[in-house]
Structure 1
Amino acid sequence: MRLSGIDRALAALACLAGLLGVALSAAAAHIPGADSLKTAAQFLLFHAPAILALIGLGAAGLARPTLARAAAGLLVVGLILFCGDLAVRTWLQHPLFPMAAPTGGFALMGGWLFGMLCALVPGRQRT
Structure 2
Amino acid sequence: MRVSSLDRALAALACLAGLLGVALSAAAAHIPGADSLKTAAQFLLFHAPAILGLTGLGRLGLARPALARGASGLLVLGLLLFCGDLSVRTWLQQPLFPMAAPIGGFALMGGWLLGAIGALIPARRQPHHAG
Q: How does 1:11-90 map to 2 (within 5 A)?
A: 11-90=11-90
Task: Quote the Cα distance in structure 1 between the aligned partners of 2:2 and 2:53.
Answer: 15
Residues 1:106 and 2:106 are matched in the alignment = yes
Amino acid at match of 1:44: L
Between Structure 1 and Structure 2, how many residues are aligned? 127
Amino acid at match of 2:6: I
Amino acid at match of 2:51: I
Q: CA deviation at 1:64?
A: 1.1
**5+ residue gaps in structure 1?**
none
**Structure 1 match to 2:124:** 124
Contact 1:78 1:108 in 2 (8 A): yes
**Normalising by the residue count of structure 1, what TM-score does the alignment of the two structures yield?**
0.97
Amino acid at match of 2:4: S
**Normalising by the residue count of structure 2, what TM-score does the alignment of the two structures yield?**
0.94
Percent pairwise identity? 81
Amino acid at match of 1:2: R
Pick the structure with greater CA Rg. 2
Contact 1:83 1:101 in 2 (8 A): yes
Amino acid at match of 2:17: A
Amino acid at match of 1:95: P
Q: CA deviation at 1:125?
A: 2.1
**Structure 2 match to 1:10:** 10
Q: CA deviation at 1:2?
A: 3.0
Task: Quote the Cα distance in structure 2 between the aligned partners of 1:82 and 1:46.
Answer: 13
Contact 2:58 2:69 in 1 (8 A): yes
